[in-house]
Homo-oligomer: A and B are copies of this chain.
Amino acid sequence: MNSRRTSPPAPGKTPAPAASPWKASHERQRDREVKRDAVVRAAAREFNRKGYHNTSLDDIAARLEVTKPTVYYYVTSKEQLLFQCFVAGVERIRAAFRDVRQLQLPARERLNAVLRRYGEAVASEFGWCMVRAEEQDLSPAMSRHIKALKSEIDHGIRRLIREGVQDGSIHPCDPKMTAFALAGALNWIAHWYREDQSLSGAQIAEAFVTVFEAGLRPRAGATELGARRESPRRRVRRPSAAARG
C-alpha cells in the first residue's frame, strides 16, 4: 500500500495540478461548515454541563482551543448558538418522521421507530438545549421558530397515535394526552441521562418503548397469574428498600 501512495501517476494519466496554497471555494465552504458544526457541538456540551446563563463564549472558545473572535466568525451570538443546538437536535426527530412515512407498517410500529430516534436525540449532546433551554433566552423570532418545530413534532406524534387507533395497532386512547405523556417521558431523559451512562441512548430509547407498549396494568397471562392471588398485598416491610434502590 505504501508503495502505491508514493508512486508517480500512471503513464498516460494527467498529473494532478500542483497544490494551490488557497483552498478551492467548495473546500472552503465545507471547511467552514465543519468548523461551524464543531462550534455548535462544543456549545451544546458546555450548555449541558454548566447551563446556558453560566456559559460564556469564552468557555466555548476555550473548549475548542481557539479565541473568542474565532467563535464569532461562525456565529453572531450565544443566543444564536442555543438556537442552532436546538435545531440540530430536533432535526433528527423530523428526519425520523420523514423516514417512517415510507414504511408500510402498522402505525404503532412507525410511532415506535420515531420514539426510538426521539429518545436517541434527547440522549445526544443536543438534548439539554432541546428540552431545557428557556424560550425567554431567545429572540421572539427564534422563539416562534422553536415553538413551530415543537408543535410540528407534537402533531406528528398525535397523528401516528390516531392512525394507530384507527388501524387497530394502538389501544384506544386520548391522542393529545398520550402524545404529551410519551414526549414528556422522552424529553426528561435529558435531565437524568448523564447520571446513568451504563446504557447507550439507543438502549434507553428501546427500554422506554418497551414501557410505553406494555403499560402498567398486567396483560393477559401476567393478569391470570396476579389477579387470582388471595391477598392483593403481599408486601413485607423492608425499611432499607429505599436506600438499596
Contacts and interface: CB of A to CB of B under 8 A. Distances in A.
A23 B242 CA distance: 45
Interface string A38-58: 000000000000110110000
A213 interface: yes
Contacts of A167: 226, 229, 231-235
29 contacts: A50-B136, A51-B136, A104-B233, A105-B233, A106-B232, A108-B216, A132-B132, A152-B242, A155-B242, A155-B243, A155-B245, A164-B216, A167-B229, A167-B235, A168-B223, A168-B227, A170-B216, A170-B218, A171-B214, A171-B218, A173-B210, A173-B211, A173-B214, A173-B216, A181-B211, A183-B188, A184-B187, A184-B188, A213-B216
A232 B168 CA distance: 8
Interface string A194-235: 000000000010011011111111111011011101011111
Interface in A154-205: 155-156, 158-159, 163-164, 166-174, 177-178, 180-189, 191-192, 204
A158 B245 contact: yes
A234 B166 contact: yes
Chain multiplicity (copies) = 2
Given A171-B216, A180-B192, 20 more contacts: A51-B134, A54-B136, A131-B191, A152-B242, A155-B243, A164-B216, A166-B235, A167-B233, A168-B222, A171-B217, A172-B222, A177-B204, A177-B211, A181-B212, A184-B184, A184-B185, A184-B189, A184-B191, A185-B185, A215-B219
A107 interface: yes
A241 interface: yes
A99 interface: no
Interface of A: 50-51, 53-54, 104-108, 111-112, 131-132, 134, 136-137, 152, 155-156, 158-159, 163-164, 166-174, 177-178, 180-189, 191-192, 204, 207-208, 210-220, 222-223, 225-227, 229, 231-235, 241-243, 245
Contacts of A227: 168
Given A215-B214, A216-B170, A218-B170, A159 B241 contact: yes
